[in-house]
Amino acid sequence: MALKVEQALHMVGGAGETSYATNSRLQEKALYRTKPILETAIAELYRTLLPERMVVVDLGCSSGPNTFLVVSEVLGIVGDLCRRLEQKPPEIQFFLNDLPGNDFNNVFRSLERYEKKMEEEKGDLLVPHYVVGMPGSFYGRLSPRNTVHIFHSNYCLMWLSQVPQGLESEQGVPLNKGNIYIAENSPPQVVKAYQEQHRRDFSTFLKSRYVELSIGGGMVLTFLGRKSKHPANGELSSLYGLLAEALNAMVSQGIISQDKVATFNLPIYGASMQEVKAVIHDEGLFYLEQAQIFESNWDPFDGTDDDDTVSDNVLNGKNVAKCIRAVFESLIAHQFGAAILDELFVRYAEKVARHLLKEKTKYTVLVIALKKKA
């Protein structure tokens, strides 16, 4: 049976060196970059509805500094807006959503410190707000009908609800051997399986959110995608291809079994904007208000997103490996055992470093703003 993501996936908890909280700079950068789009969405909603209460749901909030960055951004946007319009600010209720395996205890304990800091900084200017935790998969219903004003999601919608079905032949033989994602040598059935899983999941996502949004409500969604037409030419194919190489090297040295790699495939899909638009169009539930693509360095600490020079490829490799580990550790440990993690990511860092000398491949990030049709 295909692995359900909600059973095995969670970002590395706590606040230690390998935790997601410490290694989520990539997601943080995207939050800053997409803020103007969020601003526009909130302003339009607010001007139309002038709500006394606003419900904001952050889908895939994870556990770390970014969790509250979203809260701060929204509070700042609404506060500024209300001052400009000379309106009393609404009360905002934030629902922080993630899978049940997420470290919500850490989120809730950080919340106290966050609230204290905000009160000290903002005083009376702080928009009244209440934060709760919402466990569950966003590939399904999470909220009662017509109750949400804004859905926000950062770096989550590339996750599929499960490893695609159909990655095996009818006889049960793995079709994507040696790969862990779509690669150049993946057979067409593999590509098709990924594409269909993505289409099904994104369509379920849109339908669920449509029911939950109140009239006038909207979404701002940021996620990893690709620029090229064919999925095997995507930037994620390169990134995960290098991880597959590291795993295969460990197979050839007898450290892990070939079978384990043959049956391991990432429940992720980097869609093109064209594919995303096609699903939105077919469902017909939302207006596409904004659609932007930007690029982000694999190493989030390399701030030169706009040029192609690599100044320290070894450091870049290590940083990339840390980010990828914080995100994928639970899935990899689930398949291969936790004992291989340290060695795998040392090897992976080296492979990324070598790749960056050849080509400074970057993440392709898609941002879309949607508005519920009346």
Q: Whose Cβ is closer to its own copies: residue 145's or residue 281's?
A: 145
In the complex, least distance from residue 275 CB atom to its own copies, rounded to whole angstroms: 30
Q: Does 53 bind its own copies (CB under 8 A)?
A: yes
Instruction: Please give the Cα distance from 37 to 22 (Å, whole number).
Output: 26
Instruction: Please give the Cα distance from 89 to 4 (Å, whole number).
Output: 41
Instruction: Please give the Cα distance from 349 to 313 (Å, whole number).
Output: 10
Contact flags string 147-176 toward its own copies, x per CB under 8 A: x-----------------------------
* Cβ neighbourhood burial of 298 (10 Å; 0-12, 13-18, 19+): buried
Tell me how far CA of residue 120 lies from CA of 79, 117, 125, in angstroms. Answer: 16, 5, 10
Instruction: Please give the Cα distance from 368 to 38 (Å, whole number).
Output: 10
Q: Does 49 bind its own copies (CB under 8 A)?
A: no
Q: Which residues contact 253 (CB under 8 A, 6 or more apart)?
A: none
Residue type, 274: Q
Q: Does 39 bind its own copies (CB under 8 A)?
A: no
In the complex, least distance from residue 167 CB atom to its own copies, rounded to whole angstroms: 25
Contact flags string 94-123 toward its own copies, x per CB under 8 A: -x----xxxxxx--xx-xx-----------
Map tokens 């993505």 to a residue.
Answer: 198
Q: Does 144 bind its own copies (CB under 8 A)?
A: yes
In the complex, least distance from residue 156 CB atom to its own copies, rounded to whole angstroms: 17
Q: Which of 25, 35, 141, 200 binds its own copies (CB under 8 A)?
A: 141
The two three-digit tokens of residue 317, written as one number:
């490799």
Q: Does 140 bind its own copies (CB under 8 A)?
A: no
In the complex, least distance from residue 54 CB atom to its own copies, rounded to whole angstroms: 9
Instruction: Please give the Cα distance from 311 to 211 (Å, whole number).
Output: 49
In the complex, least distance from residue 312 CB atom to its own copies, rounded to whole angstroms: 38
Q: Does 130 bind its own copies (CB under 8 A)?
A: yes
Instruction: Please give the Cα distance from 276 to 193 (Å, whole number).
Output: 16
Long-range contacts of 71-76 (CB under 8 A, 24+ apart): 71/114, 71/129, 71/131, 72/118, 73/31, 73/35, 73/38, 74/38, 74/42, 74/150, 74/152, 75/118, 75/126, 75/127, 75/129
Q: Please give the size of the binding site for its own copies, defined by CB under 8 A.
A: 32
Q: Which of 131, 167, 246, 368 binds its own copies (CB under 8 A)?
A: 131
The two three-digit tokens of residue 117, written as one number:
């800091």
Q: Which of 133, 166, 174, 178 binds its own copies (CB under 8 A)?
A: 133
Q: Whose Cβ is closer to its own copies: residue 39's or residue 98's?
A: 98
Q: Give the interface segment with its own copies, choosing from 86-94, 200-208, 273-281, 333-341 (CB under 8 A).
A: 86-94
In the complex, least distance from residue 143 CB atom to its own copies, rounded to whole angstroms: 6
Contact flags string 6-25 toward its own copies, x per CB under 8 A: x-------------------
Q: Which residues contact 21 (CB under 8 A, 6 or more apart)?
A: 14, 15, 63, 64, 65, 106
Footprint on this chain of its own copies (rule: CB under 8 A)? 6, 52-53, 91-93, 95, 100-105, 108-109, 111-112, 128, 130-136, 141-147
